[in-house]
Structure 1
Amino acid sequence: MKPWEMMRRFGAVSTAPPAGSTTASLLHFDGADGSTVFTDETGKVWTPTAGPTIDAANKKYGTGCGKFPYITNANGYLTTPYSDDFAFGSGDFTIQFWVRWISTTPYYGPVICLDSIGGTRGWRIVKGDTTNILQFAIDTNIDSYVLNDSGVVPTASMAHYAWVRDGSMLRLYRNGVQVASRSISGSANAPNVPCVVGALWALTGPVNNNRLYAYLDDLKVEKGFCQYPGGAAFSPPPGPLAL
């Protein structure tokens, strides 16, 4: 069964990806407990810095999840070199993942970004430092656009998030329910910097003391495809996503 057919069966509103769409990244975070190897199903290479590991005990699916630990005066993160796959342009996109915070520390908590603070701003998913609310932000050649989650980040169990561009609309879903939306215009900026999981990025590297302190599972980035259009409720994926 194709992944979108499985999603329909379980109540999602997805359709088959259109011709020309691309899975930019798919990280299942599977592997041996404590491993520092992060396999991307697309073949991209992710390099860990300062502490991220595979964690077998807190996974949502499969054999593991990504554990991003708290390290004093350091950032634990993953990077992969810039790719046009992460440059969304004016087309649709979908970014989805499962996450549970280990603790809400008084720092920004970046999930994933293609962004350059002090340079060209792109797109980013970040927990507020004091609000503990996830913010989904994207800059285009027209303006900056932000969606905020409807509540604080999950700490008791994993929650599923999906952020999509659906034509002229941005939509944010938490556990299959749309919690925010707004219109968007223009072509998304794409700074020539690494795509990063677990840190904010400046002109020359990660921003200190801004770290993801959470368990992360089944992170998928799709270019040219809105998996969840129209704002309709859906059942979160019942198993690991496929390419």
Structure 2
Amino acid sequence: MMLRRLLMASGAPTSDPFWANVTALLHFDGADGSTTFTDQKGSVWTPTGDSQIDTAQWKFGGASGLFDGSGDYISTPNNTGFDFGSGDFTVEFWMRPVANVTATQVLFCKAVGAGARSFSCAVASGNRVYMAVSSNGTNFTDYLSANGVFSAGVFSHIAYVRFGSVLSIYVNGVSVVSQAITTSMFTANCPAQIGGRPSDGQYFNGHIDDLRVTKGVARYTTNFAPPAAAFPNG
């Protein structure tokens, strides 16, 4: 039976048993000010605005991705690895907003406009987290935490997980959203974007580190200890 949760309690894992299911892994490492965003799964991410590597803040590796909330994002062409349909998935990363969130800020999405919307992983006013999911490419259903669940100026681990008919969002290993989902997510033929959704002007103001997307696997199905080290490259 497939293991559904990768345990981190013993420290850094040396390998990832679900590596074949990983469709993106960005450590956001590199020289300060670099505009090269390396994906260990080979996708090419192109920066827009002032998106850059920043060595002033990081969770792992001495650097993270910096997005200033004003036109910054990185994108990669349409990738079926982000077409989740009705299957399990895990989208996770560390994020550090520079200030309390007062309006929607998108962290990772595949949604460029009406008719090409699949999902959007975001934070909302009051320091809440949510995921917007579309079954028809136009209308979103929101899965939103009731309360503020993270703090400004601090890295928090966020995991968006579908496990069967339940969509959950975990913050620092604790479930803050757990709701039924029965629909298949729309297959949008569009780029994926990190750091913002320009079609709606929803940009993240802060740092993102160690972003990993896993298709076909719900890595977390109960509360868990957040990753203690950077994700392994294989």
| TM-score for the superposition, normalised by structure 1 | 0.83
Q: AA paired with 1:26?
A: L
Residues 1:33 and 2:32 are matched in the alignment: yes
Identity of aligned residues (%): 35
1:97·1:162 contact (CA, 8 Å) conserved in 2? yes
Which residue of 213, 221, 228 maps to 2:220? 228
In the TM superposition, residue 236 of structure 1 has moved relative to its aligned partner by 0.3
1:99·1:154 contact (CA, 8 Å) conserved in 2? no
3-state DSSP class of the match of 2:28?
Answer: coil
Consecutive unaligned residues in structure 1, runs of 5 or more: none
Taking the TM superposition and a 5 Å limit, the aligned residue runs for 1:34-183 are 34-71=33-70, 75-104=71-100, 106-128=102-124, 130-140=125-135, 144-149=140-145, 150-151=147-148, 153-183=150-180
In the TM superposition, residue 147 of structure 1 has moved relative to its aligned partner by 2.0
3-state DSSP class of the match of 1:85?
Answer: helix
Q: AA paired with 1:161?
A: I
1:130-183: CA deviations, max 9, x gaps? 444222121225985432233154213111111100011111111011111011
3-state DSSP class of the match of 1:178?
Answer: strand
3-state DSSP class of the match of 1:78?
Answer: strand
In the TM superposition, residue 119 of structure 1 has moved relative to its aligned partner by 1.9
In the TM superposition, residue 118 of structure 1 has moved relative to its aligned partner by 2.0
Please name the residue that 1:7 is paired with.
Answer: 8
Note closer, same or farther for the CA distance 1:187–1:37 as it changes in structure 2 (3 Å cut): same
User: How far apart in 2 are the matches of 1:221 and 1:112?
Assistant: 10
Q: Provide the aligned length of Structure 1 versus Structure 2.
A: 224
2:6·2:220 contact (CA, 8 Å) conserved in 1? no
1:97-120: CA deviations, max 9, x gaps? 111111246543110100132223
Consecutive unaligned residues in structure 2, runs of 5 or more: none
User: How far apart in 2 are the matches of 1:177 and 1:6?
Assistant: 14
Please name the residue that 2:190 is paired with.
Answer: 193
1:115·1:190 contact (CA, 8 Å) conserved in 2? no
Which stretch shows the higher mean deviation, 134-143 or 50-59? 134-143
User: How far apart in 1 are the matches of 2:163 and 2:6?
Assistant: 20
Q: AA paired with 1:214?
A: G
User: How far apart in 2 are the matches of 1:16 and 1:77?
Assistant: 30
In the TM superposition, residue 17 of structure 1 has moved relative to its aligned partner by 3.1
3-state DSSP class of the match of 2:37?
Answer: coil
1:136·1:146 contact (CA, 8 Å) conserved in 2? yes
Please name the residue that 1:241 is paired with.
Answer: 231
Q: AA paired with 1:166?
A: F
2:130·2:169 contact (CA, 8 Å) conserved in 1? no
